[in-house]
Copies of this chain bind each other. A is one copy, B any other.
Amino acid sequence: MSGRQALLLSSSNCHGYSMLEFAKEEICAFLNKNNVKELLFVPFAQNNFDDYTNKIKGVISHWGFSVTGLHTYSEPKKAVSSAKAIFIGGGNTFLLLDRLYTHNLVDLIKNRVLEGKLAYIGSSAGTNVATKSIHTTNDMPIIYPPSFEAIGLVPFNINPHYTDKNENETHKGETRDQRIGEYISMPHANAVLGLREGSILHVDGNSLILKGVAGAVLFQKGGKKTEYSVGQNISFLLEE
């Protein structure tokens, strides 16, 4: 591997595809490029670890890769330290980050990925925790984690499942854009990339390319909003 290797999916599910199907080509190419045959799956964003791991295994093992759940190891740090590739799945971002802190995995994963020793795949909550912080998750704050700071493989924030459709016209809750706007107006805010369902970020060292079957929207300080489409090079977002 040369530099950090990460594939960040907006979600595992995308309308019109079976689970992870929209990302099959990218995931296979990513794992093959990094000479990976075994994937360590982290089911911590959900509560039924076995079921969740088996669901992912049921898809990915057919693509020629073996999958084991991190919860099956008595020493999670050791398992992460010897893995070549990790896949962190979606569910609840607060629950996921809290468990990563409990097991002292946040810095370990960060260091191994940044040293180019661990390839990272994330989906939804697993994508949120790969960024600077979880300030832009859509999830309900069901548990209080020791920090909102996350693994920080990229120096910006992500809003997965991004949509600019209104929930419905009579409902008075905030739209997604208003929610992201509330964050962007904070002094500590980073830029936010809204990943539409079906969107994939491919991080290869200092290169960042938008892949998958749907685009992304960048929100910046001052209210600037820019649309990017599949295939575009957005490596400038990796500059700190």
Contacts and interface: CB of A to CB of B under 8 A. Distances in A.
Interface of A: 11, 13-15, 47, 91-92, 94-95, 134-144, 147-148, 161, 163, 165, 167-168, 170-174, 179-180, 182-183, 185-186, 188-189, 197
Contact of A165 (B14, B91, B168, B186): B168
B185 A47 contact: yes
Tell me what chain A mostly uses at the interface: helix, strand, loop, or mixed. Answer: loop
A183 B144 contact: no
Given A95-B186, A139-B182, A163-B173, 18 more contacts: A11-B173, A15-B172, A91-B182, A92-B182, A95-B182, A135-B142, A136-B140, A137-B140, A138-B173, A140-B180, A140-B183, A141-B148, A161-B172, A163-B167, A163-B168, A163-B171, A165-B171, A171-B197
A134 B174 CA distance: 17
A144 B148 contact: yes
21 contacts: A11-B172, A11-B173, A13-B172, A14-B172, A15-B171, A15-B172, A92-B182, A134-B141, A135-B141, A135-B143, A137-B141, A138-B140, A139-B174, A139-B182, A140-B180, A143-B188, A144-B147, A144-B148, A163-B168, A165-B167, A167-B168
Nearest to A169: B15
A141 to B, nearest CB: 6
Contacts of A168: 163, 165, 167
Nearest to A187: B143
